Amino acid sequence: MSNKEWMSLLGLSNRARKITSGEELVIKEVRSARAKLVLLSEDASANTTKKISDKCTYYQIPLRTVSDRYILGQAIGKDARVVVAVTDSGFANKLMSLLD
Burial class (CB in 10 A: 0-12, 13-18, 19+), 46: exposed
DSSP state of 86: E
Return the SS3 of 9.
helix
CA distance 37 to 29: 10
pLDDT per residue as tens digits for the range 11-56: 999 999 999 999 999 999 999 999 999 999 999 999 999 999 999 9
pLDDT per residue as tens digits for the range 47-89: 999 999 999 999 999 999 988 899 999 999 999 999 999 999 9
- pLDDT of amino acid 68: 87
- pLDDT of amino acid 2: 62
- Phi first, then psi: give them for residue 88, nearest 5 degrees: -115, 130
The strand pair at 37-41 and 63-66 is best described as parallel
Return the SS3 of 7.
helix
CA distance 79 to 17: 17
**pTM higher than the cut 0.85:** yes
